[in-house]
Amino acid sequence: MRGLRTLWKNATSYVTEYYDALNEIRVVTGKSEQESLALGENYRRLAKEMSTTSQELAESAVTLYRQGLSDEQVNERLKYTTMYSKTSGLEMGTATELMTATINAYSSYVREVEEAGEVTTKVGYDAEEVASMFTAVGNAAASSGEEIGTAAQKVASVAGEAGLSLEYLSAYIATLSEKTRLAPETIGTALNTMIARLRQIKQNGFNEEDETKINDVAKALRTIGVSLMDTEGNWRDLNDIFEDIGKRWDTMSDKQKSYISTTMAGTRQQNYFIALMNDLAKADEGASRAMELYNIAMNSSGSVAKSYSTYMESATAAADRFKQAMENVYSTLLDASAIKGLHDFGTGVANSFAQATKSVSGFNVIIPTAVGVILT
């Protein structure tokens, strides 16, 4: 009997929460009840395929639909977010948040990609690219996919606007993580502050905090033979500027390094800038960790799927398959209409009982008194 009660309790809990999530999707999208139920069946199929739970998928889908994504886009995000979540040891909700923040931050970023031997222009990064990049770089570094994603969330918006590709950003994050072993939030915030400073100088002509001007930055870089602007008077890509500084870094005096670091990164973030330049200085020798990780990021396609296939052999994946199978049992016992019917029946009984007590004089005194006597 106890086992049956537990089964019933778990079933009612799952069905209530699951259909509440599907109903929330209806609220966001305007879908009909039948359409939301069809989504529910789709998530169960996907859960079985991915060795995860339909509850996780439905709850993440709510977040994705709130962004105005189509059914097809939501399904793609769910698939690769699940892979990223499981291979990085992240809660599904957290993985969804990290992936969403990065994809949205780079939604307007224009880049050139080589496909089938031809170079084409592409805007933004898709879910597979982001998940694979975080996974590949995290696996290759003394870091993790979770740390890369967590740091990227702090800096992606300003990095994309500053023209720093996600490949370079991931490589810089992993490099600083290896060299400093600071928390990813700290590294992401430091890079955010550094890049936001340069972006502000670019947009406003000066930095509000220390009044560093564009001319100050250009002058500092000219002292080591590096150009801030291209031949058309536009700011060069940040990674190109960083690489040029790195090439000259070991030829500079300590005074020059301090001057360049303070001008480029500000007083508070100069240590991170110095750590990055110390690494990029080894690029010509083929010993730069950042450039090594950048190449890994550039060739990361398919990495998350490969890691996920390994994860599928784990005990955790087996446990998730059991949870998913039990969800199917629960959905067989109950569905949305049954849950609503049970609650409506209970509501009716409660209302009838309340109405009956009003028609019996003194009933509201007798019952509580009787209960009190029994309990004592």
- Give 363's pLDDT tier (boundaries 50, 70, 90): low
Calpha distance 246→305 (Å, rounded): 35
Average pLDDT value for residue range 207-227: 86
Weakest mean pLDDT among 211-225, 316-330, 342-356:
342-356
Average pLDDT value for residue range 238-267: 92
Q: What is the reported pLDDT for 163?
A: 85
Average pLDDT of the chain to the nearest whole number: 87
Tell me: pLDDT of 357 over 70.
no
pLDDT in tens, 276-304: 999 999 998 889 999 999 999 999 999 99
SS3 313: coil
Q: What is the reported pLDDT for 45?
A: 93
Q: What is the reported pLDDT for 241?
A: 92
Q: What is the reported pLDDT for 358?
A: 60
Q: What is the reported pLDDT for 339?
A: 52
SS3 19: helix
pLDDT in tens, 20-42: 899 999 999 999 989 998 999 99
The answer to whether 106 and 166 have CB atoms below 8 angstroms apart is: yes
Tell me: pLDDT of 344 over 60.
no
Neighbours of 171 (CB within 10 A): 29
Angle of helix 315-333 relative to helix 54-65, nearest 10 degrees, comes to 80
Tokens 């990164």 belong to residue? 265
Tell me: pLDDT of 334 over 60.
no
Tell me: pLDDT of 364 over 80.
no
Cα angle 235-159-216, degrees, rounded to a multiple of 5: 40
Calpha distance 124→122 (Å, rounded): 7
Q: What is the reported pLDDT for 374?
A: 52
Q: What is the reported pLDDT for 93?
A: 93
